Chains A and B, each alone.
Chain A
């Protein structure tokens, strides 16, 4: 940048001198002027080259960070696939084996053992299936169609209302003034994501707590927020809640697989959006989904 200014200064100075503004005071021979202009041009050229190289390098660096992130993502995906493949056959064999034993074993005590084994195997099966679905959503061809977010949010409220009311949670829906809220994406999957967030707000709150579902425009985005007045998430847990199978320290006794938020993040990522979480221990949590407006 300095070189560019210096070069431009040289040229300007020489032009001014030649224009006769100051040549009454400084009479320079013409060939010296040419040399100065030449040096000036050379400096400008060098500066521009350096600038271009610098921008190129920045782009390259950015690209390689992006590439590294994508590679890590792909590797993670491959790992989930391998895990699924390696677990599903033994799990099938165990499930069939337990069914065999259950049909042939007549001892009361052993039936109880079998019931317990069956339940744990089903739990594992569920986990394998859920991990597989998570991996699938990464690559699933999505229905990228325009739809009205208002309808989806209202539908989600209908889906959860009864359960929330039965458990003394107050749910309110805050939407922008009447009219549609157009977004583009996979309607059903987005409904799953929002439903998951409300489900979380329900699970991690107490009777009489409030849950609010909001949507509003912000520049070229549409923001969807799910807030609750629950006990919040510990600061140490907050960055980790998006990871598969992560369960916060204060979640003991609360049902869940630890895959809900990973699923939400995946759906939002596939919808070209971003998701973030803010939590104040003791005051509540807000999750924000930012989607490009249609």
Chain B
């Protein structure tokens, strides 16, 4: 990777790209801009960005079409898609469309910067993202994302759908600090006043099933007052 990672922003809203560009540059990135999917594809070829921030709704070639074309060509440049993955049908779609992360508008600009940094740290250039792998884990713990099943030491675990969704999100964002709000937003699709207690209950369920001691965790670490971080190794499993 270059000293200054090159970020391609693809969005037809000039008000967004013209403001985002200097902000990302000050954060240490080299920024290039495309106004639709066609120009985006061209710039990927010519400038080989390290990461693409991709809006979905655009004239001519939209974001999802551009992403499909890229992946079809075998191009695995990491992509942050500017939309949300809420319900289960969207999650299934997200699995095969091959984005590395999702962020919905209107977003906190610093959240975008944090996500870009996290994805850049996580990706192995030229390989498919974990978020598009069907089975992931460290050999001991295996999660089948399509079948929604989890095994520990070859023993299948009995987990609620929500606990599986949390585990999936934590594993596909390994080493990243994930706030309770982000988990609520992504896994439940809302973050109403109910707060993080619902999350804590499910994390406790997960820990029990994974035989993970919070005092000496192998998988899930609590960051007091902030959220959770997955520390286990995560690889695609054929």
Residues of A within 8 A of B (CB): 85, 87-93, 95-97, 99-100, 103, 125, 128-129, 133, 136-137, 140-141, 143, 155, 158-159, 188, 191-192, 195-196, 199, 263
Asked if A141 meets B88 with Cβ closer than 8 Å, knowing A159-B195, A196-B192, the reply is yes
Q: Which residues of B contact A89 (CB under 8 A)?
A: 13, 15-16, 105
Is B194's beta carbon under 8 Å from chain A?
yes
CB under 8 Å from chain A, chain B span 57-115: 57, 86-89, 104-110
B106 in complex: contacting residue of A91, A103, A159, A192, CB < 8 Å = A91
A-B contact count (CB 8 A): 77
Tally of B interface residues using CB under 8 Å: 32
B109, A99: Cβ atoms closer than 8 Å: yes
The minimal Cβ–Cβ distance linking A50 to chain B, given in whole angstroms, is: 49
Q: Which 9 residue pairs of A and B lie closest in terms of their CB atoms, listed nearest first?
A: A93-B15, A91-B106, A96-B19, A88-B105, A92-B106, A99-B109, A125-B106, A97-B19, A92-B105
Which listed residue, B15, B20, B194, B197, touches A192 by the CB 8 Å rule?
B194
Confirm or deny: B35 has a beta carbon within 8 angstroms of a beta carbon on chain A. no
With contacts A92-B107, A188-B188 taken as known, whether A100 is within 8 angstroms of B197 at the C-beta atoms is: no
Chain A hits for B197, CB < 8 A? 158-159
Please tell me which one of the listed residues A91, A133, A158, A199 contacts residue B190 in the complex, with CB atoms under 8 A apart. A133
Which residues of chain B come closer than 8 Å to A129, judged between CB atoms? Answer: 104, 106
Residues of B within 8 A of A87 (CB): 106
Q: Is the CB–CB distance between A95 and B106 below 8 Å?
A: yes
- Say yes or no: is B162 at the interface (Cβ < 8 Å to chain A): yes
B148 to chain A, nearest CB (A): 12
Neighbouring A residues of B23 by C-beta, 8 Å? 96, 99-100, 103
Whether a CB of chain A sits under 8 angstroms from the CB of B154 is: no
Q: Which residues of B contact A195 (CB under 8 A)?
A: 192-194
Distance A128 CA – B192 CA, assembled complex (angstroms): 14
For window 134-154 of chain B, which residues contact chain A by CB distance below 8 Å? none
Residues of A within 8 A of B106 (CB): 87-88, 91-92, 95, 125, 128-129
Assess whether B189 is interfacial by the CB under 8 Å rule.
yes
Q: Does B2 contact A (CB under 8 A)?
A: no
Contact B105 A99, beta carbon cutoff 8 Å = no
- Are A93 and B13 in contact, CB atoms less than 8 angstroms apart? yes
Task: Provide the bound-state CA to CA distance between A97 and B15, in Å.
Answer: 9
Complex contacts, B217 vs chain A, CB 8 Å: none
- A116 and B62 CA atoms in complex are apart in Å by 35
Closest to A121 in B: B106
Is there contact, CB below 8 Å, between A141 and B189?
no
B109 touches A141 (CB 8 A): no
CB distance from A31 to the nearest CB of B (A): 74
Q: Is the CB of A96 within 8 A of B110?
A: no
**Could you tell me if A100 and B198 are in contact, using CB atoms closer than 8 angstroms?**
no
Inside 8 A of A99's CB, which chain B residues have their CB? 23, 109-110
CB pair B198–A96 under 8 Å, yes or no, is no
Partner of B109, one of A95, A128, A191, A192: A95
Q: Which residues of A contact B194 (CB under 8 A)?
A: 159, 191-192, 195
